[in-house]
Amino acid sequence: MQLDWTTFLLQIINFLVLVWLLKRFLYRPVMDVIARRQAAIDQSVADARATEANARSLRADYEARLAELDTQHARQLAKLADEIAQERQRRMDRLDADMATEREKRAALAEHEAAERQRKADMAAHRQASAFVSRLLGRLGDAHLDRRLLDMLIDDLPHLPAHQRDGLREAAAAPDAQLRVTSARPLDASARHALESALAEPAGRPLGADYATDDTLLAGVRVTLGPWLLAATLADELDYFRAGARHAG
């Protein structure tokens, strides 16, 4: 076999041309596409890593915020529990004070009711005693006792206070001044004379008198001159005793 150098050379030239064409129109575009694709992949990976880092940062911020909210919530719950405890204690104290006040009111009311019952019992006892004494003195009253009481009234006239003596004298100065004498039983002439004579001195002049009887006086005599009253009767003394009993109650 004989080598044709011309053909061999042409084949080499064709191969070189083919290699140049492949490199010029196929290899470089493919490499450029691969490079751009790799760059896009690298950018996507970088973006994904940045997104992941951002997500981690957001998660850390969220967890920190959540922890802070939990802490604030716990503090608010503790504060609310303290306020509830304080309000409960304040209401309990007020309830205790109200109950103490109510107990004091009830005790005072019970004491007042006991005192009122005791006062009524004392008044009833005094009324019974007064009624008993009235009946007893009514049975003991007689003309002798009337005269004794009249003598007591006459004996007391010189010892009247100055303002009473002045009042009697002023009442007696009236032109129509008249004594009104009421006794449990009729007074005899000597008793009337003794009374009118004794009253002439404090009255400043002798006065006429109207006489009447009233058995409710029980015993004794009652003298009226204008607005003034002089009395020495068992009824008046019993009234004084009743009034003293009511005052003591």
What residue ranges in the chain does DSSP mark as E strands? 179-183, 209-213, 220-225, 228-233
What is the pTM assigned to this prediction? 0.47
pLDDT tens track for 49-68: 999 999 999 999 999 999 99
Determine the pLDDT at residue 239.
63
State the average pLDDT over residues 100-126. Answer: 92
Query: What pLDDT, on the 0 to 100 scale, is given for residue 160?
Result: 85
* pLDDT of 245 higher than 50: no
What is the average per-residue pLDDT within 112-121?
93
Residue 185: strand, helix, or coil = coil
Q: Which residues contact 201 (CB under 8 A, 6 or more apart)?
A: 157, 158
pLDDT band at 163 (very low <50, low <70, confident <90, very high): confident
Which residue, among 223, 244, 228, 232, has the nearest Cα to 161 in the 3D structure? 228
